[in-house]
Amino acid sequence: MKKVLFICLGNICRSPMAEAVMRDLIKKRGLTSQIKVDSAGTSDYHIDEPPHRGTKAKLQQYGITTSGMRARQLRSSDLHDFDYLVCMDESNVRNTIEMLRAEGDAKVFRFLDLTSHQKDVPDPWYTGDFQETYDLCVEGCEALLEKVLEG
């Protein structure tokens, strides 16, 4: 089984959105027994909170659930427990590498580097643009799923 962890700062906007989108893609393709998905934050700001209301509302528009999702902070065991540590922006790449002492570990990378955008996923906590975040998560998750399936 392949394991994917999405990472952002607070684990209430971007990374849970990516987690929910990826779970939906995996379910639709019948791959739930092959790929496990989770998300975490590099900060402890929102531990045990549900996804942000904007994230939940945007996902509900597309019939995607956030049921049972709660924010958690990145743990040292995540480096060994997951095959892919997918960070929403460069700041969280740096924070993840520092927190997990993962310098040079190829399993830690920026989410949109798998797409033609090759940029950070903007944080809708600040921008208010949950549609842009959703669109980027869909594109990124489709690219990531192909990467996971390739091996």
Query: The tokens of 10 are what?
Result: 């607070």
Q: How would you write the pLDDT of the chain (151 residues) with one tens digit per residue?
A: 999 999 999 999 999 999 999 999 999 999 999 999 999 999 999 999 999 999 999 999 999 999 999 999 999 999 999 999 999 999 999 999 999 998 889 999 999 999 998 899 999 999 999 999 999 999 999 999 999 999 7
For residue 64, what is the domain's CATH number?
Answer: 3.40.50.2300
Please, what sign has the CA dihedral across residues 110, 115, 118, 120?
Answer: negative
Active site residue 8: yes
**Is 58 part of any domain?**
yes
Q: Count other C-beta atoms under 10 Å from residue 142's C-beta.
A: 14
Active site residue 70: no
Query: The tokens of 115 are what?
Result: 């797409």
If one counts the domains in the chain, the total is 1
Q: pTM of this prediction?
A: 0.97
**Is 27 part of any domain?**
yes
Active site residue 123: yes
**Is 95 part of any domain?**
no
